[in-house]
Amino acid sequence: MKITNVETYLLDIPLGQKAITDSQTKLDSVEFVVVRLDTDEGVSGWGFNWNYTKGTRAVQTIIDDNYASLLIDKNPLMYKNILNELHYTNHFIGQVGVTRVALCAINLALWDIRLKDVQLPLWKYLGPVKEKVKAYNTDGGWLETSTDELISDMNQLIDHGFDAVKMKLGKPDPREDYERVKAVKNAIPEHVKLMTDVNTVWDLKTARTWGKKMQDLDIYWLEEPMNPFNKKDHARLARNIDIPIAVGETIYTKYDFRDYIEAGAVDIVQADVTKLSGIDEWLDVAALARCYDLEVIPHTNIQQKLHVQLAAVSSNVPMVENCYKSLSEIWEDPIQVVNGYYTLPQESGLGCKLKDSILEKYQVN
């Protein structure tokens, strides 16, 4: 089998629901870069990556200018050699960031070809340890939502079968965060897990002070309390408060996860396939976390189909995030959540192809 053509698409897809807000972002659309690899045997592989803000065109440019010519005539089943070559071609323009986000899209497209070749979905190919995957929900906890609305949204999700929910922190005055968490905690059933997410805006002093106060509120984890580049502060915080620390959505290599884990700076590993260089590196991180008896609960908004399948094959992934409900229908064969559990995809391949109508309608030139 040989790759004969590389096609890329740049999309900007509106959320179609009330704007999503956290301490860093106000979001009403998501940019996607989509890549299609065609082969001489008629099999095509689809991969993608995504971004909250503008700038995804840079990812498309890396694929078109750096990677496409290196992919032509290669055997996609020898995919590890291909990915190595692509990685090292970025020697002096940076091997993380945009180049790695682009590499992930290629990684996914190559996996899609392999899985279609053996006619299996990813989770069946890798070997499952479970047949359904628990979901936790973030759509009820956005930062600009009033406390009353927050409580109402959380309880609606709980009525739909979710027993784990997350809310955003990072208000200008952390006192308000504390009061909101307390109000939600008092308004939801005791058995429901409540997670919190700061999206990196606190400093160590704020995180220590308010993390300590929140210890009494039975928080399941405190996510991204501080700048992710500062591992040492995360380690200091982890030693000082009695709430598990979750990080991962802005960590881009397995080496950084290793350093976080070895520093005792993370309790919940939120590795995201689309921020690492793809499925292989994610599996490496999951295996690394297993060595330290750590759970991996991947950061997930539009990439549910990837993470649910990886959760199904990983003994240390107890649940997968669920949010951006309005974007769940952009995919062919969209994944479903029933009574708080994801169902697993049955079709061959990776299952990460956007509907043709979406590819046409939201393409940016």
Per CB under 5 A, which of residues 78..107 are in contact with Mg ion? none
Please report how close the Cβ of residue 118 comes to Mg ion at its closest, in angstroms.
Answer: 34
User: Does 321 help bind Mg ion (rule: CB under 5 A)?
Assistant: no
Long-range contacts of 88-93 (CB under 8 A, 24+ apart): 90/62, 90/66
Distance between CA atoms of 12 and 27, rounded to whole angstroms? 12
Please report how close the Cβ of residue 249 comes to Mg ion at its closest, in angstroms.
Answer: 5
Please report how close the Cβ of residue 241 comes to Mg ion at its closest, in angstroms.
Answer: 18
Shorter beta-carbon distance to Mg ion: residue 100 or 299: 299
User: Does 139 help bind Mg ion (rule: CB under 5 A)?
Assistant: no
Given a contact cutoff of 8 angstroms between Cβ atoms, the answer to whether 331 and 11 are in contact is: no
DSSP state of 59: H
**What tokens appear for 187 in the block?**
């308004």
Q: How many CB atoms lie within 10 A of CB 293?
A: 7
Distance between CA atoms of 352 and 349, rounded to whole angstroms? 8
Please report how close the Cβ of residue 112 comes to Mg ion at its closest, in angstroms.
Answer: 27
Please report how close the Cβ of residue 246 comes to Mg ion at its closest, in angstroms.
Answer: 8
Distance between CA atoms of 30 and 10, rounded to whole angstroms? 11
Please report how close the Cβ of residue 210 comes to Mg ion at its closest, in angstroms.
Answer: 17
User: Does 197 help bind Mg ion (rule: CB under 5 A)?
Assistant: yes
Please report how close the Cβ of residue 247 comes to Mg ion at its closest, in angstroms.
Answer: 9
Q: How many residues bind Mg ion (CB under 5 A)?
A: 1
Q: Exposed, middle or buried: residue 269 (CB in 10 Å: 0-12, 13-18, 19+)?
A: buried
Q: Indicate the Cα dihedral angle 101, 105, 106, 112, nearest 10°.
A: 150
Shorter beta-carbon distance to Mg ion: residue 52 or 178: 52
User: Does 272 help bind Mg ion (rule: CB under 5 A)?
Assistant: no
**What tokens appear for 9 in the block?**
């698409």
Shorter beta-carbon distance to Mg ion: residue 101 or 246: 246
> Residues of 113-130 as b/e, b for ≥16 C-beta within 10 angstroms?
bbbbbeebbbbbbbebee
Distance between CA atoms of 73 and 66, rounded to whole angstroms? 15
Which residue has the CB atom at the shortest distance from Mg ion? 197
Choose the stretch contacting Mg ion; rule: CB under 5 A; options: 31-39, 175-183, 194-202, 320-328. Answer: 194-202
Choose the stretch contacting Mg ion; rule: CB under 5 A; options: 13-21, 110-118, 197-205, 287-295. Answer: 197-205
The contact set with Mg ion (CB under 5 A) reads: 197
